[in-house]
Amino acid sequence: MTAVLPGATIGIFGGGQLGRMMTLAARTLGYHVIVLDPDPACAAGAVADRVIVARLDDVAAATELARASDVVTVEIEKVGLDAMAAAAALKPVRPGAQVLRVIQDRARQKQWLADRKFPLGPFWIARSADELGDARRSAGLNAFVKSATGGYDGRGQARAGADDDADAVWRALGSSPCVVEQALDLDSEISVMVARRVGGEHATFPPALNHHVNGVLDWSVIPAPVSDAVASEGVRIARDIAEQLDVVGLLAVEMFMLKDGSIVVNELAPRPHNSFHHTELASLTSQFEQAIRAACDLPLGSTDSMRPAAIANLFGDLWLQGVTPRWEEALAIPSVRIHLYGKSPRPGRKMGHVGAVGGTAEDAVTLALVARARLLPTR
Ligand SMILES: Nc1ncnc2c1ncn2[C@@H]1O[C@H](COP(=O)(O)OP(=O)(O)O)[C@@H](O)[C@H]1O
Ligand SMILES: [Mg+2]
């Protein structure tokens, strides 16, 4: 028996907003939750039974997490592999270390996808300033240079023109291995979320359409208004990756749609993803509940979208203008919901999101953006 039933305790590596929303879903299903996070004031702390305050590579803390839990899962991919191994020696860890090993290093992830012939844009792996210079010359103007480890939300990235000094770019990204990517001419961005159980049963949400600003997700809508052919191709690619990685838990696959209609994979995440927060509004099962079901080896919930739903992210800047966001103005739109993560504001920090449902994907996006605009102080 591999199922972990309600009443048991789930341990989560990481206690950010994804961990917080996973914890809320776990609690609804009657589980106890312990999170491990370096920040005692982490977002999940307010809703978890307990926070183990430690780095994500702390082997002793990981051992303690596993000892106190019945199953261990993740809300972040940057978990030390030794810490995962220590936890796995005591309790099931889902997804397993083999998944995080591939995903947490962008260079290894790209190579893994390339070796298995998944569609990718042109890329080069650079392990020195010289290699970075060569790659950038091959990649052409305005290439994306992405640090292999540590980046998120567009951080740990640089754009490199042909005239830029490769040494300076190399140093700015921490003098460590990076991936250089040709800047692709994007039609749009979509993501697909797969949930997979022990033994391979899986369920896939329909693709979400995502809009980024300066490399950071700004809004997302589900189901993506794309052709059936694009949707089913995206779902097929994501399922194949989840199967070949033998993911137990969630796998989010970010994809680029190019102007010629083809799809390439951008990157993977073995956890809930910002571009599926609207599943709480659109779907019978949210991504967070699905994460808990998959980790606990329970039957997966329906991933059907009952109606289009969108989210727009709220960033710390909204709080830093010296006035309270105008919550009542946004909530006066009946189909609008607000979700806050309980974090203290910093510029650019993800603080929460507004969600909205609509008759069409376009309506849902419009409503979410109108609601977000209503939060701004009047001038
Ligand atoms: N090769 C590329 N061509 C065009 N746009 C890109 C490319 N790589 C990244 N981007 C843009 O930057 C965003 C963030 O890049 P991504 O690799 O997903 O990093 P992060 O881990 O920060 O999310 C993407 O969602 C996309 O909008
Ligand atoms: Mg991304």
The per-residue DSSP string of 327-347 comes to HHHHHTSTTEEEEE--PPP-T
Whether pLDDT at 162 is above 70: no
C-alpha dihedral (189, 192, 193, 196), degrees to nearest 10: -150
Q: What confidence score (pLDDT) does residue 160 get?
A: 81
Does the pTM of the predicted model rise above 0.95? yes
Sorted by where each begins, the domain ranges of the chain are 9-93, 122-181, 186-374
pLDDT in tens, 95-132: 999 999 999 999 999 999 999 999 999 999 999 999 99
Task: Fold for 186-374, please state it.
Answer: D-amino Acid Aminotransferase; Chain A, domain 1 (3.30.470)
Evaluate: CB of 218 within 6 angstroms of ligand 1.
no
Q: What confidence score (pLDDT) does residue 156 get?
A: 87
Q: How far is CA 327 from CA 110, 302, 343, 371, in A?
A: 42, 32, 17, 9
pLDDT in tens, 38-55: 999 999 999 999 999 999
Evaluate: CB of 267 within 6 angstroms of ligand 1.
yes
Q: What confidence score (pLDDT) does residue 84 get?
A: 98
CATH of span 9-93: 3.40.50.20
In terms of phi and psi (left: phi > 0; alpha: psi -120 to 50; beta: otherwise), the region of 368 is alpha
Whether pLDDT at 35 is above 70: yes
Evaluate: CB of 151 within 6 angstroms of ligand 1.
yes
Evaluate: CB of 144 within 6 angstroms of ligand 1.
yes
**Of 154-158, 161-165, 279-283, which has the strongest mean pLDDT?**
279-283
Asked if domains 122-181 and 186-374 share a fold, the reply is: no
The pLDDT-based confidence of 318 (bands split at 50, 70, 90) is very high
d(CA 257, CA 266): 10
Q: Hey, whose CA ends up nearest to atom 1 of ligand 1?
A: 183
pLDDT in tens, 175-221: 999 999 999 999 999 999 999 999 999 999 999 999 999 999 999 99
Q: How far is CA 157 from CA 84, 134, 219, 270, 274, in A?
A: 27, 18, 21, 21, 19
Other C-beta atoms within 10 Å of 56: how many? Answer: 20
Average pLDDT score over the chain: 96
For Cα atoms 266, 133, 171, give the angle at the middle one, nearest 5 degrees.
Answer: 85
pLDDT in tens, 223-252: 999 999 999 999 999 999 999 999 999 999
Q: Which CATH architecture has domain 122-181?
A: 2-Layer Sandwich (3.30)
The pLDDT-based confidence of 379 (bands split at 50, 70, 90) is low
d(CA 27, CA 12): 13
- Ligand nearest the Cα atom of residue 106: 1
CA of 303 to the centre of ligand 2 (A): 22
Evaluate: CB of 124 within 6 angstroms of ligand 1.
no
Q: What confidence score (pLDDT) does residue 208 get?
A: 98
Q: Hey, whose CA ends up nearest to atom 21 of ligand 1?
A: 152
Q: Closest ligand 1 atom, CA of 146? A: 17
Whether pLDDT at 378 is above 80: no
CA of 27 to the centre of ligand 2 (A): 29
- Ligand nearest the Cα atom of residue 77: 1
Please state the rounded mean pLDDT for residues 279-295: 98
Q: Hey, what are 166's tokens?
A: 């490769």
- Ligand nearest the Cα atom of residue 213: 1
Q: What confidence score (pLDDT) does residue 163 get?
A: 67
